């Protein structure tokens, strides 16, 4: 090993087994980061691909909906300095709220909110102590919309979008930046895992996850506050801010209601 060679900075990416998280981790590897990647799915294939790009990779398979899973990831990071955290892990859940299994409801809330906030607090404390670091949080344009037939997921993303912007303001002057990536429907496993393949949004056109990840990664490097990926999504956000909430909820219903219930 070349002793004079500067160590590569470390990036932590959650939800990195596929989709936007996979491509965020790939962006980081291509930009000279070593990686700690985490997901509740197997990560071996992704880890090999990132190692082929020159990164040292530690893969942590854990359930970030649980305190034990978050602590397992924190233990894997150890005392290493985290230069970038991409808190991307999240789950969806479609269908009628009253018909949903409450354990599944709780898992979405704990993954999207509790586990995300727990990890961010731990990593951000270290960044502020060093006066250096960047955090990218994956929110969603769904956070701007009352999500009929996706009520829990949209509610969690409303929390995350708001939390990211509030934390950014709290950390002004610390040299630690918080950026929020707000994608719309993206071509990932999300809709299959959320049981939404029989909906208009599940069957409609979706964004390329690699492009969405690049937009978010570049926003993080620039220290931007937030970025909505895609012109169509930007228009939907603008419309949701001026339309009555119940009109937005009805619009969302047409997209997310299972076809058998329409």
Q: What is the per-residue pLDDT across 33-92, written as a single tens digit (0 to 9) for each?
A: 999 999 999 999 999 999 999 999 999 999 999 999 999 999 999 999 999 999 999 999
Does the structure show a pLDDT above 80 at 184?
A: no
Q: How far apart are CA 59 and CA 127, in angstroms?
A: 22
Task: Identify whether the C-beta of residue 16 lies closer than 8 Å to the C-beta of residue 81.
Answer: no
In this predicted structure, what is the pLDDT of residue 261?
A: 57
What proportion of the chain, given as a percentage, has pLDDT over 70? Answer: 82
pLDDT band at residue 236, thresholds of 50, 70 and 90?
low
Note the pLDDT of residue 11. 98
Average pLDDT over residues 135-143: 93
Cβ proximity of 182 and 140 under 8 Å = yes
Whether 200 shows a pLDDT value over 90: the answer reads no
pLDDT recorded at residue 192: 66
* pLDDT mean over 93-112: 96
- Is pLDDT larger for residue 133 or for residue 142? 133
pLDDT band at residue 1 using 50, 70 and 90 as cut-offs: very low
Q: Which residue has the higher pLDDT, 198 or 213?
A: 213
Specify the pTM: 0.88
- pLDDT higher than 80, residue 141: yes
Looking at residue 160, what is its pLDDT? Answer: 97
Any residues with CB less than 8 A from the CB of 209 and at least 6 apart, and which?
19, 20, 22, 23, 186, 187, 188
Residue 227's pLDDT is 86
Q: Residue 104 pLDDT > 60, yes or no? A: yes
Q: Are 180 and 162 in contact (CB under 8 A)?
A: no
d(C-alpha 253, C-alpha 262), whole Å: 9
Evaluated on CA atoms 150, 155, 160, 162, the torsion sign reads positive
Whole-angstrom CA distances from 123 to 61, 145, 165, 219 are 18, 30, 17, 19
């Amino acid at each position: 090993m070349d002793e004079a060679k500067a160590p590569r900075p470390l990036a932590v990416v959650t939800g990195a087994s596929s989709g936007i998280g996979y491509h965020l981790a790939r962006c980081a590897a291509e930009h000279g980061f070593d990686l700690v990647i985490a997901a509740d799915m197997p990560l071996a294939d992704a880890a090999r691909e990132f190692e082929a790009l020159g990164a040292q990779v530690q893969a942590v398979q854990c359930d970030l909906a649980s305190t034990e899973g978050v602590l397992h990831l924190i233990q894997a990071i150890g005392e290493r300095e985290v230069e970038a955290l991409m808190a991307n892990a999240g789950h969806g859940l479609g269908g009628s709220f009253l018909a949903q299994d409450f354990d599944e409801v709780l898992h979405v809330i704990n993954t999207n909110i509790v586990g995300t906030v727990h990890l961010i607090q731990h990593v951000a404390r270290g960044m502020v102590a060093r006066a250096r670091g960047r955090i990218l949080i994956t929110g969603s344009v769904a956070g701007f919309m009352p999500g009929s037939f996706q009520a829990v997921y949209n509610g969690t993303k409303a929390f995350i979008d708001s939390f990211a912007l509030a934390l950014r303001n709290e950390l002004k002057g610390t040299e630690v930046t918080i950026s929020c990536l707000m994608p719309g429907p993206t071509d990932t496993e999300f809709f299959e895992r959320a049981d939404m393949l029989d909906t208009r949004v599940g069957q409609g056109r979706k964004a390329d996850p690699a492009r969405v990840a690049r937009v978010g990664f570049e926003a993080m490097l620039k220290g931007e506050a937030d970025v909505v990926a895609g012109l169509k999504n930007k228009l939907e956000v603008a419309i949701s801010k001026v339309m009555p909430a119940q009109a937005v909820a009805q619009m969302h219903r047409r997209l997310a209601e299972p076809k058998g219930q329409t």
